[in-house]
Amino acid sequence: MEIWLDTSNLSSVQKAQELGVLHGITTNPSIAAQSGMALDDLLQMLLKAFNGPVTAQVVAKQAEEMIKQGEALAKLSKRNIVKIPVTREGLRAIYHLSQQKIPVMATAVFDPKQSLFAARAGAEYIAPYVSHICEADQDGIDQLRTMVQMRDRYRYPSKFIAASVHSTEHIRECCSLGFDAITLSEKLFDEYLEDHPMTIKTVERFCKDWKTAAARKTPF
């Protein structure tokens, strides 16, 4: 499973990259606005600090303007992935951009039919809002399972990336369902990567036992 970080915090990106687990960075209009930077400056900063894919979202409602914004984002870097909400107009934009070989992440997905349409339109990634779906519907996990099953059944190449994930339990659910990727907030990323207490306890025992080992020529 690909691990993405949902942030504009350069320090968090660098720390995650040093661990060797980070695949990509996701942003959205809210994250970009909170950064206090112009979008193109923010993207250039992230692209310079990180060598993987970075997403940025269009902010138009009509397909024609979405396409123009998507093309402009794609010109900034080949590593930019254009995020487009799955509306009727959004699907037109997804299809048009995908025909130009511009990678698109279909976002704000809440229903299996949206994921099917996005895959059919050519989206490289499809981003269901996992926790919102599960919190709004007791059958939320079944809806997510249906999305993955439809993609697999009809053999679309789109990848599913779990977005808007609020708990480690939902991370486990996405792994079980076969999601290809997940994007996490800084808080949840840190929580999910916390050292396991049993691992810490085991390491402490090894270090203690090592002190009683026979004399050695190694530097430790």
Residue length, the chain?
220
Q: Which residue has the higher pLDDT, 2 or 220?
A: 2
Share of the chain above pLDDT 90, in %: 91
The answer regarding whether domain 2-210 maps to CATH 3.20.20.70 reads yes
Residue range 215-219: average pLDDT? 82
Residue 143 corresponds to which amino acid?
Q
The pLDDT-based confidence of 102 (bands split at 50, 70, 90) is: very high
Catalytic annotation, pick one of 48, 68, 83, 159: 83
Q: Is the pTM of this model over 0.85?
A: yes
Is there a catalytic annotation at residue 61? no
Q: Give a three-class secondary structure readout of 50-98.
A: CCCCEEEECCCCCHHHHHHHHHHHHHHCCCEEEEEECCHHHHHHHHHHH
